[in-house]
Amino acid sequence: METPIWWASFLEIFKEATGFNPIPIRIGDIPLISQYAVASLQAIRHLSDKLELTEEEVWSTLDLIDQAMFNFDVLKGIRYVQRFSSSILYRSSEDPVIVNVKPLKVRKLMSYPIDEPRFLDSSIVHLSGFLPVKLSSDFSEANVDAENGLWRMLYGLPAPPGKFKWVWDLNWASLLELLN
């Protein structure tokens, strides 16, 4: 397994925030945002065991590191999921909405760099907010296809037919194969 592309920055920020070097952590080929969320939590948990940090100290330290590393609002949603073991719908500046969805088994096939959307107006913004709500209540092939169509419209990313789904992944989009 290779060292994640974000590791050098994380190492520097982690040491600045805590005074310690994180243990080297290797994560499989999963989307970058997931890699970062899992490995950074493991690193702070390892330090927490040695220094007897409280739960609040663990999460507040992660929040500071997250802001310095990426400062993406979606990372706050991911941390909520990690902390409370709940699936949620998350929108910046709003409280998370807990949803009951069964876990998905996925395999990352590829990642593609994304830039600014090619086309964006209020109807597309509305659709991009509506589709996750729809998927949380009905994770059907038709709804996945609709969301993949949005990725194609915004970034020109085609999805192969079948059980595949594009997901946001920092400055990338990752194509996942849905295995269940």
Confidence label for 24 from pLDDT (cuts 50, 70 and 90): confident
Distance, in Å, from the CA atom of 157 to the CA atom of 3, rounded to the nearest integer, reads: 27
Between the CA atoms of 97, 65, 128 and 172, what dihedral angle is there, to the nearest 10 degrees? -140
Q: Residue 48 is part of which domain span?
A: 7-97
- Residues 112-141: what's their mean pLDDT? 93
Cβ(124)–Cβ(154) under 8 Å?
yes
* Residue 1 within a domain: no
What does the DSSP 8-state code read for residue 20? S
- Please write the tens of the pLDDT for every residue from 68-112: 999 888 899 999 999 999 999 988 888 999 999 988 999 999 999
- Final residue belonging to a domain, choices 62, 97, 132: 97
- Clarify whether residues 93 and 135 are in a common domain: no
Distance, in Å, from the CA atom of 178 to the CA atom of 162, rounded to the nearest integer, reads: 9
Helices 55-69 and 7-18 sit at what angle, rounded to 10 degrees? 130
Place of tokens 């959307």: 117
- Clarify whether residues 115 and 67 are in a common domain: no
- Clarify whether residues 86 and 111 are in a common domain: no
- Clarify whether residues 147 and 128 are in a common domain: yes
- Please write the tens of the pLDDT for every residue from 29-57: 899 999 999 999 999 999 999 899 999 99
pTM: 0.88
Give the count of beta carbons closer than 10 Å to the beta carbon of residue 105. 9
- Clarify whether residues 91 and 19 are in a common domain: yes
Residue 36, SS3?
helix
Looking at the structure of the chain, the number of domains it has is 2
Distance, in Å, from the CA atom of 175 to the CA atom of 29, rounded to the nearest integer, reads: 12
